[in-house]
């Protein structure tokens, strides 16, 4: 009976050592996983900062181009408005010159056509 008891105790000690070794291995795996998670998080943060910086730079470039294009469009519209106003005034002057017989009807039509073609 004593021998059976010692044998059971021996088996229990072996089982306990095996459990302790399993726990140590599991702890090492968990530590490795935590370290890998930390490294991955740092890499993700670094990549995120890089993407954010590129997106900001591209956004700034797009806003700059848009402002420049809008400015060009506004300038062109102002020029067109001024040119059209000038052309309409020129037509009025031509009409008065024709009415006062300073230019002929043919000259009036030719100049009027050139002006209207520009508008």
What is the pTM (predicted TM-score) of this model? 0.45
Question: Who has greater pLDDT, 25 or 5?
Answer: 25
Residue 72's pLDDT is 87
**pLDDT, position 80:** 66
**pLDDT tens-digit map of 21-78:** 989 998 898 988 899 989 998 998 999 999 999 999 999 999 999 889 888 888 877 7
Give the Cα separation of 20 and 32 in Å (integer).
18
- Label residues 11-50 b or e (16+ Cβ within 10 Å = b): eeeeeeeeeeeeeeeeeeeeeeeeeeeeeeeeeeeeeeee
pLDDT in tens, 67-111: 898 888 888 777 766 678 888 888 999 999 999 998 899 999 999
d(CA 83, CA 107): 21
For the chain, give the number of residues: 119
Please measure the distance between the N-terminal and C-terminal CA atoms of the chain and give it in whole angstroms. Answer: 120
Quote the pLDDT of residue 24: 92
CB atoms within 10 A of CB 84: 13
Pair 108, 98: CB distance under 8 Å: yes
Query: Crossing angle of helices 2-99/105-118, nearest 10°?
Result: 170
């Amino acid at each position: 009976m004593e021998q059976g008891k010692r044998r059971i105790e021996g088996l229990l000690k072996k089982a306990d050592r095996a459990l302790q070794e399993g726990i140590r291995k599991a702890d090492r795996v968990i530590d490795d996983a935590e370290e890998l998670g930390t490294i991955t998080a740092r890499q993700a943060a670094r990549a995120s900062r890089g993407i954010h910086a590129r997106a900001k730079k591209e956004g700034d470039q797009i806003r700059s181009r848009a402002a420049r294009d809008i400015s060009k469009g506004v300038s062109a519209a102002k020029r067109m408005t001024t040119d059209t106003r000038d052309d309409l005034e020129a037509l009025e002057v031509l009409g008065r010159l024709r009415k006062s017989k300073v230019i002929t009807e043919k000259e009036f039509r030719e100049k009027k056509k050139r002006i209207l073609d520009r508008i």
